[in-house]
Amino acid sequence: MRVVGGRFKGRRLCEFAGRSIRPTSDKVRQALFNILYHPDEGFGFRRALDLFAGTGAMGIEAVSRGAQEAVFVDIDPSALSVVRKNLESCGLGNSQVLLSGAREAINRLSMRHEQFDLIFIDPPYASTLANETLMAIDASKSILSEDGLCVVETVRRTPITIEPNGLQLIDERRYGDTLIYIYKKESSQ
């Protein structure tokens, strides 16, 4: 696994040996970031939140392509150990890394009035956490900045089954068994 674009392009990232953690493939990550790149504005996201960070590849990719910072959240201490190694190898060792469940992190970050332009939700495939986390982001009303994007990765057997009130589905893609949903926060005008 490697960073597929930006200033860290080609940098190898540590993975989990023999573990059931499934990082987003390079191919899917490349396709996703091609979608997120705007021809006129470039990669216009300042702050990214990588929920269910695993290896940290999504947040690192966002910083590699121009985000000023990313915050990494995972409930598994061994996953965060891999995230820290990957951050160090990219010179991003001062990044915020939180040992927490996604909903708890959303609540904590919201209470600190932190906002993100781009949020990644990539939970274990065999769970209902994608739906639950998407609802928590929608309910927080403040964690996702105005016109911010929320990217959800899941598989066909556990698709998104909810319709959040404050988020509009703007794109949906399928790469093999992987499903990508992109939601945009609706303007409060």
**CATH number, domain at 27?**
3.40.50.150
What integer pLDDT is reported at residue 45 of this predicted model?
86
Using CB atoms within 10 A of its CB, is residue 130 exposed (0-12), middle (13-18) or buried (19+)?
buried
Tell me whether residue 160 is in a domain: yes
> What confidence score (pLDDT) does residue 26 get?
79
Domain ranges, residue 141: 6-185
**pLDDT, position 40:** 64
Residue 126 lies in a domain: yes
In a domain, 87, yes or no: yes
Q: Each residue of 10-64: pLDDT tens digit?
A: 999 998 765 556 677 778 888 888 888 876 666 678 999 999 999 999 999 999 9
Total count of domains within the chain: 1
pLDDT at 38: 73
Q: Is residue 1 part of a domain?
A: no
What's the distance, Cα to Cα, between the start and end of the chain in Å? 42
In contact, 121 and 128? CB cutoff 8 Å: no
**164 in a domain, yes or no?**
yes
Query: Residues 102-112: pLDDT tens digits?
Result: 999 999 999 99
- Residues 125, 111: Cα–Cα separation, whole Å: 29
Task: Please answer whether residues 28 and 58 qualify as being in contact, where contact means their C-beta atoms are separated by less than 8 angstroms.
Answer: no
